[in-house]
Chains A and B, each alone.
Chain A
């Protein structure tokens, strides 16, 4: 009898969780995601895969200023799986559709998308009401940069600086650090995408889990970069793992090249690609800036956390080689950074009058500290290491760790900068008025 009760309880436990989940999925919308219409629509129509309960405000159509253009929503279809809302005549512009409905189990599903009337629709991350990046997003982006530096910098260091076989302990630590970087890039990338989606959908986390992310994944540069970079870095992780498993360093080459290639996703989806004045050159400069920074910072970490404590016989060679590489990297970093700063801040006073400029000033200050520290290594430590000065060699690990810490702070400033909006570029009188042919 007791056994029967246990079995019955187990079966009940198996069956109980099921009714807790019964969420509807959006199958089709009219107008479509980011669709450009030439005439005002008469209604907004959403089709779900199952019946839903509709509220008066289940569909809200808002213009760029938040003015409501939609009427009361009602359900249609044999199973009440269609929701429609009438729409007043829409002037030229872009519109945000915010929708929510209740599934059969009482859970709310929701989403947001945009469309335009004789006007291009922006991505949902720029819809009406979408909030800007939060402090959490700054931290997450910083963690992403750190992970990228650990991965790409580690790979470049192993392939360009310490090319031969490493002592077993050093090899283990190298793979541990780059492995953390690879996993970090994937995990933090997913968190960053969800946070951006949360901004756009403006939903608490519990409801976000059932939010429709396809307009963000498929309809924004950020989403496309997320897809490409996730796939790319999954491959990079596989190559890194196979290099460790088979002890073939040559497999690290495809990992590094793929990693650098897919890191361009950040440059192709950020300010350098999307803002006014951006071009192929600005995208290239951004990618070079990012690549040089990650290789420099990741290399510093490898030098201070792998070579110094675990491979004393390689310290001298590694330090001198890295010093030469760092000079080239810093030159690329500074040249690309100066070009991008001029592009985004056309006036010098933007540096203190605009929020973006002020963050850039903080970043420049930290970069100056890091460069001065690097210069000290180049001018004082390199000659001392070349002549085998034991006193300097003993102090170097702490100094390298300090430089790495400053470099991490630079990455934090970079993370805030990437999430900030550069000031709008001045509009020339010729381009202020749209061409006559485009005016309706």
Chain B
């Protein structure tokens, strides 16, 4: 009854793509224009929070190693935290600007979890390569929300933050061993598996 692993990756990739496009649109037109419709302010943080909630089933149903379970729980929690903090700020319930730091924190934790949970080296197989790539990309991209926390109008920081999610979505769409490219580079990788 469980969906295949690649489908779960694609579902989350779609979520990240939508999230990234929303953020990119906001970066292009500016916050004032984007928030002319009040609900738009809730769009990306609400989506992040919802994706965090949806990550819990992934955590509980894929338990073939403890480190996978812990990584998925870390992603679930930081996505919920980052979304919740931003929703709280938009709603006016959280006043301190320090809450802006939850997003870079979420990216640092997520990137570290990607690197630690991947059990194989870069060129072992495609999923291993992409996990390392995603891990380092997300870790590096945590600079964008950090800058954004102090310079909220910075086009570079806002665009970089938005494009991080677009890139993450593309990586996640590629992140399974079904296609022949990059697949099973190591001779000990065994038969194709999900």
Contact = CB atoms under 8 A, between A and B. Distances in A.
B61 A213 contact: no
A280 interface: no
Interface in A211-259: 211-214, 216-218, 226-227, 230-231, 234-235, 237-238, 241, 244-246
B76 interface: yes
A27 B120 CA distance: 16
A213 B70 CA distance: 12
Among A21, A104, A245, the one with the most B-chain Cβ atoms within 10 Å of its Cβ is A21
Interface stretch (A43-51, A336-344, A356-364, A412-420): A43-51
A14 B121 contact: no
Given A212-B64, A213-B64, A231-B56, A17 B187 contact: no
B66 A23 contact: no
B91 A245 contact: yes
Per DSSP, chain B at the interface is: helix
A15 B120 contact: no
B112 to A, nearest CB: 10
B8 to A, nearest CB: 15
A17 B135 CA distance: 12
Size category, A interface: 35 or more
B188 interface: yes
Interface in A17-44: 17-19, 21-23, 25-27
Nearest to B125: A50
Given A23-B120, A50-B188, A234-B56, A210 B66 contact: yes
Contact of A234 (B76, B87, B132, B189): B76
Nearest to A175: B93
Nearest to B140: A14
B142 interface: no
Interface in B19-68: 49, 53, 56-57, 59-61, 63-67
Nearest to A109: B65
B66 A214 contact: no
B121 A22 contact: yes
Among B70, B88, B190, the one with the most A-chain Cβ atoms within 10 Å of its Cβ is B190
A160 to B, nearest CB: 25
A190 B119 contact: no
A349 B73 CA distance: 46
B124 interface: yes
B6 interface: no
B136 A22 contact: no
A107 to B, nearest CB: 8
Contact of B65 (A19, A210, A227): A210
Given A81-B190, A190-B73, A241-B84, A21 B119 contact: yes
Interface of A: 14-15, 17-19, 21-23, 25-27, 48-51, 79-81, 103-105, 186, 190, 194, 197, 208-214, 216-218, 226-227, 230-231, 234-235, 237-238, 241, 244-246
Q: Considering the complex of A and B, which 6 residue pairs feature the smallest CB-CB distances, nearest first?
A: A23-B119, A51-B188, A18-B121, A234-B56, A217-B63, A227-B60
